[in-house]
Amino acid sequence: MRSTYDQHVPLLSKDRWEKPRLEWLKCNVDAGRTTISACFRNSSGEFTTELTKWQQVILSIDEGEVWALLQAMKEAKHKGFEQVQFESDSQLLVEAIRTKRRDNSEFLSIVNDIILIKLSCANFEVKFIRRQVNLVAHTLARAANS
């Protein structure tokens, strides 16, 4: 429920989750310090599958986000999903994928794995979204930790 203050502030379309295109899936990913999560929904907005994993090592925010996206892409590929729009609230991650940035860091090594999957799955897209739009994946990541 929106607070009294929120009721006077119009929601912008970029502040709300939007359904994917017809015949596509949308996957929102998020990470906690020891968990990752992904939530897949269809073009009707219906939940289709989820992925949550607990990690023994404590991850930085950036490492968690990149690991969550990689695992979600592997899951989508394993399940035979062909048209998936992945959304992350990590602008650093999305920008690293877009620019195909390279170096020897663990983060960019995993980004390169993501880029390779995208090359083999022509209809996998990655998009940045604001944190408040990513609540389902965020909640799953927190629940996996409890």
Q: What is the pLDDT of residues 100-141, one digit of tens each?
A: 988 888 899 999 999 999 999 999 999 998 866 555 554 545
Given a contact cutoff of 8 angstroms between Cβ atoms, the answer to whether 133 and 87 are in contact is: yes
User: Mean of the per-residue pLDDT values for the chain?
Assistant: 83
Report pLDDT for 110: 94
The span from the CA of 81 to the CA of 138, in Å, is 22
Report pLDDT for 102: 82
- Is pLDDT above 80 for 19? yes
Report pLDDT for 103: 81
Q: Which of 22, 21, 23, 18 is nearest to 82 (CA)?
A: 23
Report pLDDT for 9: 41
The span from the CA of 84 to the CA of 73, in Å, is 9
What pTM was computed for the model?
Answer: 0.81
How are the residues of the chain apportioned to helix, strand and coil, as percentages rounded to the nearest 5? Answer: 45, 20, 35
- Token digits of residue 115: 């880029």
The span from the CA of 27 to the CA of 20, in Å, is 9
Given a contact cutoff of 8 angstroms between Cβ atoms, the answer to whether 32 and 52 are in contact is: no
Q: What is the pLDDT of residues 60-89, one digit of tens each?
A: 889 999 999 999 999 999 999 999 999 999
The arithmetic mean of pLDDT across residues 9-25, rounded, is: 75
Q: What is the CATH number of domain 21-144?
A: 3.30.420.10
Report pLDDT for 135: 56
- Is pLDDT above 60 for 12? no
Domain edges within the chain: 21-144
Q: Which of 136, 114, 110 is nearest to 126 (CA)?
A: 114
* Helices and strands, counts by H and E, the chain: 5, 5
Length of the chain: 146
